[in-house]
Amino acid sequence: MQRRMRPRTITRVTAVFAAMALVLAACGGDDPEEEPAPESAEEDEAPDDDAEEDDAAEEAPEDEADGSDEPAEDIRAECDVTQGVTDDTISITMLNDLSGPTAALGAPDIGEAFRAHFDAINADGGIDGRMVEVEVLDHAYSPVDAAQRYEEVRTETAMIASVFGSPPLQAIAQDLVDDCLVSFQSGSSGQLAQDYDTIFAPTTTYGHEILNIIGWVIEERGETDATFALAYQSDALGEAVRQAAAFGAEHYGFEYVAEASHGPQDSDLTAQLQTLLAEDPDYIVYGGLPNQLAFLSAGAMAAESDVQFISATPGFVPAVLGSPAADAVQANVFISGPYSEWEGDEPGRVQMREEIETHAPDVAPGQGPIIGYSSALVVAEALRIASANDDLSLHGILEASQQVSGFDANGLLPELTYGQYPDAPRVPSHASRIWQPEAGPAAGMVPLTDYFESEASQLFTEPVL
């Protein structure tokens, strides 16, 4: 397949990006992945002179701390405690961005939808009579702030039930292991669930999403001669997609005709776009966030290229459909993701809408609330299992999380099954659906496929970053 373009100039494409500055305003400004590397943040956030933390670290087996393949022979002593649980309540915590760079992208709505499900559970009698109290703390998408908020609750909460964003979660990942606190990431890059035994991916990871959409092009559309280029952010999110995309190229027997990366704070991607379009690819695999993908999409349309962009979940938010990039994004972007639609008569969707409209009436329908609500469903399932096991200790909640099996949230998610670390890392599904952005639906997208797993996705294991 060959797609040709009319001649283009630097001036022309640069003018497009100048106009596209409005996209940043529409999507909330700064890029969410602009925070310092978690490794450096962790040095600032966890003082070495904390005697209690040092004692916990000495007791923690190295195999769990570093993600090695040696399973723990028995639970650590600090896991056999109960905290955040009374005869009447279960206290859990969510760390979310309420004031930082992703707040305007809808992160607060993710938290409100998460809380709404537990408000509905409480209205129906709680979990075996215990009310679930959800405290949402603001980490402002900062690893340092995330560590500070964690210190406030680490000995008082039964779970750090959900953390929004990979950099904040990575900043506290080792602490979660040392303290035996389970966490389900809100969104899923995959590596943290692979490397830390108390962290769980809530559903299909970004790497598997990318492999599914590459497989969709080749296996389902039959475009075996399609040419691909690759673009990604120079951070953990982009690297996760890059490594999965490299696996996909090897599996399907092609090479990327061009490759370009950009910094998390870059807004003018003229040079990257020209590098990519110079080879006239049919598809550009993208690993990054909505602002930059919208820039690339609009720039490609202005350059009269008919290239199509294929991306994982983070590459799109409905806000871009209210920006100058809307026509381009609807015409040349496809998204791979595991979440459901907002609309529909299926029981799971009806229940989701009713619970959010009742308990979080200010939340606007959309993709963010679907992600937050879906994460709450998985957390609630783990707590129900722990309660049924009559073990709401830290170890009991960890064990219960590993016992979630065949859970599909009444059709809101692909079937999820977890297992014992490290034999079955907590990446519970390889399935996703393909979506096309479209103004009108609440999620801003329409599904093109049902859940499926590509050949490459079935074979892929998330690498250690």
Q: Which CATH number fits the domain that encloses residue 291?
A: 3.40.50.2300
pLDDT above 60: residue 237: yes
Q: What one-letter code names the amino acid at 158?
A: A
* Number of other residues whose CB lies within 10 A of the CB of residue 406: 7
Token code pair at residue 156: 């008082």
- Dihedral through CA 204, CA 208, CA 212, CA 213, nearest 10? 100
Give per-residue pLDDT as tens, 77-92. Answer: 668 999 999 999 999 9
pLDDT above 80: residue 49: no
Confidence of residue 362 (pLDDT cuts 50, 70, 90): very high
Are residues 170 and 114 part of one domain? yes
Judge residue 222's burial from the number of C-beta atoms within 10 Å of its C-beta, 0-12 exposed, 13-18 middle, 19 or more buried.
exposed
DSSP-derived pairing of the beta strands 228-233 and 283-287: parallel
Token code pair at residue 441: 């639906």
The region of weakest confidence among 218-222, 387-391, 432-436, 439-443 is 439-443
pLDDT of amino acid 135: 97
Are residues 212 and 193 part of one domain? no
pLDDT above 70: residue 246: yes
Residues forming a β-bridge with 337? 433
pLDDT above 60: residue 7: no
198 contacts 174 by C-beta, under 8 angstroms: no
Instruction: List the domain range (segments joined by +) for residue 214.
Output: 10-28+206-337+450-459
Confidence of residue 424 (pLDDT cuts 50, 70, 90): confident
DSSP 442: T
Token code pair at residue 334: 């496809």
370 part of a folded domain = yes
Q: What one-letter code names the amino acid at 200?
A: F
pLDDT of amino acid 159: 97
pLDDT above 90: residue 190: no
434 part of a folded domain = no
Confidence of residue 21 (pLDDT cuts 50, 70, 90): very low
pLDDT above 50: residue 209: yes
436 part of a folded domain = no
Report how far residue 169's alpha carbon sits from residue 165's, in angstroms, rounded to the nearest whole number: 6
Mean pLDDT of all residues belonging to the chain: 84
Give per-residue pLDDT as tens, 109-144. Answer: 999 999 999 999 999 999 999 999 999 999 998 999
More confident residue, 313 or 384: 384
Q: What is the mean pLDDT of residues 244-257?
A: 98
Token code pair at residue 90: 């279960």
Token code pair at residue 396: 């009991």
The pTM for the full model equals: 0.79
pLDDT of amino acid 239: 87
Are residues 390 and 404 part of one domain? yes
Are residues 55 and 180 part of one domain? yes
pLDDT of amino acid 309: 98
* Number of other residues whose CB lies within 10 A of the CB of residue 123: 12
Q: What is the mean pLDDT of residues 235-254?
A: 92
Q: What is the mean pLDDT of residues 429-451?
A: 94
Instruction: Give percent above pLDDT 90 in the chain.
Output: 62
Are residues 219 and 180 part of one domain? no
Are residues 330 and 220 part of one domain? yes
435 part of a folded domain = no
Q: What one-letter code names the amino acid at 221?
A: R
Report how far residue 448's alpha carbon sits from residue 244's, in angstroms, rounded to the nearest whole number: 22
pLDDT of amino acid 218: 98
Are residues 306 and 211 part of one domain? yes
CA angle, corner 351, sides to 345 and 352, nearest 5? 100
More confident residue, 258 or 410: 258
The top-scoring range by mean pLDDT among 5-14, 314-323, 331-340 is: 331-340
pLDDT of amino acid 145: 96
Confidence of residue 464 (pLDDT cuts 50, 70, 90): low
Q: Which residue's entry shows tokens 């035996």?
A: 180
Q: What is the mean pLDDT of residues 215-243?
A: 93
Are residues 129 and 23 part of one domain? no
33 part of a folded domain = no
243 part of a folded domain = yes
* Number of other residues whose CB lies within 10 A of the CB of residue 75: 15
Q: How many domains does the chain have?
A: 2
pLDDT of amino acid 465: 58
Are residues 178 and 56 part of one domain? yes
DSSP-derived pairing of the beta strands 159-164 and 183-186: parallel
pLDDT of amino acid 348: 92
More confident residue, 73 or 454: 454
More confident residue, 193 or 352: 352
More confident residue, 299 or 288: 299
Q: What is the mean pLDDT of residues 418-429?
A: 80
Q: What is the mean pLDDT of residues 46-75?
A: 42
Are residues 395 and 331 part of one domain? no
pLDDT above 70: residue 188: no
74 contacts 129 by C-beta, under 8 angstroms: no
Instruction: Give percent above pLDDT 70 in the chain.
Output: 82
Confidence of residue 189 (pLDDT cuts 50, 70, 90): low
Confidence of residue 34 (pLDDT cuts 50, 70, 90): very low
List, in sequence order, every beta strand (DSSP E) within 192-315: 199-200, 228-233, 259-262, 283-287, 308-312
Are residues 274 and 188 part of one domain? no
Are residues 56 and 99 part of one domain? yes
104 part of a folded domain = yes
List, in sequence order, every beta strand (DSSP E) within 315-398: 333-337
347 part of a folded domain = yes
